[in-house]
Amino acid sequence: LDVNNAFLNGNLEETIYMVQPPGFEAEDKTLVCKLNKALYGLKQAPRQWFDKLKLTLTQFGFQASKCDPSLFWYKHQTHTIFILVYVDDIIITGNSSSLIHQITNQLDSIFSLKQLGSLDYFLGIEVKYLPDKSLVLTQSKYIRDLLYKTNMAEAHGAPSPMFSNCKLSRSGNDFFHDPTLFRSIVGALQYATLTRPEISFTVNKVCQFMANPLDSHWVAVKRILKYLKGTLSYGLHMQPADVDDPISLTAFCDADWASDIDDRRSTSGSAIFFGPNLISWWSRK
């Protein structure tokens, strides 16, 4: 769902005046306009819009998630509905199509909505539906744009995101010529880990050299990009659990021993599964 002119729905808590808009000036040029509603360009407009939407959803019976303030859930008997909000873009899902339709109509009666159909792209993440009712979340377009940005669209793919014997260090004087580019690309790679958990360790490693990147660190970044080039179709596979098996929460964790050659600190990692699906993972020093 997309909300038309979302920020105009916000209620102002302060008294705000604005100059007369061009073409609508009154004869008295000293007069100003008093805003009755939020307007695009106001610094508080996004917050006021979210507060208005949150109040509306709360009145419908939704509750805000404790772990994510932009996620709302509603439960009625055996039916559960989830709503995820990103500014004026809304994802709604649940196990009752009739209840989803009812809530959508209620929202449309208050805000002007544009229904965009089934979710297929959201914040750089592509959603593919498989015949067995499972989903695959990928970021192939996002990664492809990243490859073009680094002039690596024609690069050959690599079999792994890092050489197994690679030992990166802060020591050296071969400073990379464009530290801003390094930070930008590494930051973009961090976002790519949303659907590519297998690069989490390597991305975490190159993140440790943001302050003073060396040429060797940039080579490691290019290795990650080459790996992504050869695995554009890879992503997260989300599948429904077997109805005969209870849904379990399973966690795996591991750590090395003093692997960092600069400070001898260890690196640990974890992967958490909800049923058959990977839902959380991290790698950190």
- HEC sequence for 199-228: HHHHHHHHHCCCCCCEHHHHHHHHHHHHHH
Helical ranges in the chain per DSSP H: 45-59, 97-110, 140-149, 179-192, 200-207, 215-230
In a domain, 280, yes or no: no
**Could you tell me if 71 and 177 lie in one domain?**
no
- Which of 203, 222, 240 marks a domain boundary? 240
In a domain, 270, yes or no: no
In a domain, 126, yes or no: no
**Could you tell me if 60 and 143 lie in one domain?**
no
At residue 32, what is the residue type?
A: V
In a domain, 204, yes or no: yes
**Per-residue tens of pLDDT for the chain, all 285 residues:** 888 888 888 888 889 898 888 877 667 777 888 888 888 888 899 999 999 999 999 999 999 999 899 999 999 888 999 999 999 899 999 888 889 999 999 998 888 888 888 889 999 999 999 998 899 999 999 999 999 999 999 999 999 998 888 888 888 888 899 999 999 999 999 999 999 999 999 999 999 999 899 999 999 999 999 999 999 999 999 998 777 777 788 999 999 998 888 888 899 999 999 988 999 999 998
Query: Please, how many CA atoms are within 13 Å of residue 212, restricted to the half-sphere of its CB?
Result: 7
The reported pLDDT for the residue numbered 76 is: 85
**Could you tell me if 83 and 183 lie in one domain?**
no
Cα–Cα distance, 272 to 264 (Å, whole number): 27
**Could you tell me if 104 and 158 lie in one domain?**
no
The reported pLDDT for the residue numbered 171 is: 86
- Which of 225, 240, 255 marks a domain boundary? 240
Domain span at residue 226 reads 137-240
The reported pLDDT for the residue numbered 51 is: 92
Number of domains in the chain: 2
Cα–Cα distance, 264 to 258 (Å, whole number): 4
The reported pLDDT for the residue numbered 140 is: 94
In a domain, 272, yes or no: no
Return the structure tokens found at 142: 């996002």
**Could you tell me if 166 and 98 lie in one domain?**
no
In a domain, 252, yes or no: no
Backbone angles phi, psi at 250, to 5 degrees: -120, 135
**Could you tell me if 184 and 219 lie in one domain?**
yes
**Could you tell me if 176 and 82 lie in one domain?**
no
**Could you tell me if 94 and 141 lie in one domain?**
no
Cα–Cα distance, 36 to 10 (Å, whole number): 10
What residues have CB less than 8 Å from 179, skipping those under 6 apart?
212, 213
The reported pLDDT for the residue numbered 172 is: 83
**Could you tell me if 68 and 110 lie in one domain?**
yes
Cα–Cα nearest to 127, from 115, 111, 139 = 139
3-state helix vs strand vs coil in the chain, percent to 5 = 30, 25, 45
**Could you tell me if 62 and 113 lie in one domain?**
yes
In a domain, 249, yes or no: no
**Could you tell me if 113 and 7 lie in one domain?**
yes
**Could you tell me if 163 and 100 lie in one domain?**
no
In a domain, 7, yes or no: yes
The reported pLDDT for the residue numbered 168 is: 84
Evaluate whether 254 touches 268 at the Cβ level (below 8 Å). yes
